[in-house]
Amino acid sequence: MSDEMQQESVDIASAALEKSFVFERVLLQGTLHPRACGNTGIIPTEQQSRNTAAILRIEKTAVPLTAAADLPVYLREAQCVEHTDIYMWFAAWLAPSSFEDLPQGDVKVNVICPATEAHIRKYSPQNYTILHETPQMYRDIVAPFIASLPPERTKWVQDILDGRKEQSKVLFSSSAFLILPDMKWDLHTLSSLYLVAIVRDASIRSLRDLRIEHLPLLKDIRKEAARVSQEKWGIEAGGLRMFIHYHPTYYHFHVHIVHSGYDGGLGMRVGQAHLLDDVISLLELDTGNPTPLFERRTLVYSLGEQHGLYEALRRAQDE
């Protein structure tokens, strides 16, 4: 490991200690280059272009870090568990003896590489502001922004839907949607269970696009998520929380499915996370109006100043 990467590792580990062992880090100078899945783990490479950015996110799953020196150890011991084109996660162990006791790893390492400007913005330190997105603001600002996003941003989603990636992980598949574990989950710790249902209809980009005619789809997602979780892990009724992000990380409609006791931090805060049950109830009440409910609602949420929509929405709200 080069001196530069060693220092980067120390800085990352120090940040972990300050954030209770859950942290994110944008690597702007150099990167960690993940090899193919297997036992080879994560290695630094001097040949990697310094113009290529990576985002490293490390989560505590069992054993906390006790010193900055731990980080290089478990990076050397990391093993790739799953990956798409740019999203990868690794199980990592602090000691050889940990593998037998903790197949999920002492820690979970998430890597986004190469990271786009949008990824770097998302994981950079930033302030958040409460915004009131009116229907007019959506039509004038948000809808054009979503339409301008290049298809490459969701290529990894389409690869999953088309059967080119992660097929061994799919828990349910139909002509309308599929369910599979989210990369936030280590695939072992039931209390942090995290699945995602991805809809095949690419015309549904976000919560704003939902209509009464989507009720059967949403109810099927709710039903199948509950069935899969009960059959595979014994989770009974009331043991799941299902929600929809607005704004989502990627604008291809999906539903988050987590254990009811899981605390997912900012991603589950009021405003950004809309309970699937509430969305279904609102759509069931949306009768007799030619304009769909989520098209005419003002949505209130907090948005980070690094988000691509922030400046325009902030100006529009202040006018």
Contact 202, 219 (CB under 8 A): no
Task: List the domain boundaries for the chain.
Answer: 3-115, 126-318
Is residue 254 among the annotated active site residues?
yes
Spot the catalytic one: 254, 259, 274, 307.
Answer: 254
**pLDDT 10s digits, 3-13:** 444 444 334 33
List the beta bridge partners of residue 128.
304
| Residue whose structure tokens are 């990167």 | 31
More confident position, 276 or 81: 276
Cα–Cα–Cα angle for 146, 151, 156, nearest 5°? Answer: 115
Annotated binding site for substrate: 156, 166, 182, 184, 245-256
**pLDDT over 90 (residue 58):** no
List the beta bridge partners of residue 76.
none
List the beta bridge partners of residue 129.
303
Alpha helices in the chain (DSSP H): 3-18, 70-76, 98-101, 117-123, 135-137, 143-148, 155-161, 215-233, 276-285, 293-296, 310-318
**Does domain 126-318 match CATH 3.30.930.10?**
no
**pLDDT 10s digits, 32-51:** 333 332 333 333 333 333 33
Question: The whole model's pTM is what?
Answer: 0.74
pLDDT of residue 244: 97
Annotated binding site: 156, 166, 182, 184, 245-256
- CA 128, 132, 135, 139 torsion: positive or negative? negative
pLDDT band at 131 (very low <50, low <70, confident <90, very high): very high
Question: Residue 29: helix, strand or coil by DSSP?
Answer: coil
Percent share of the chain, pLDDT over 70:
63
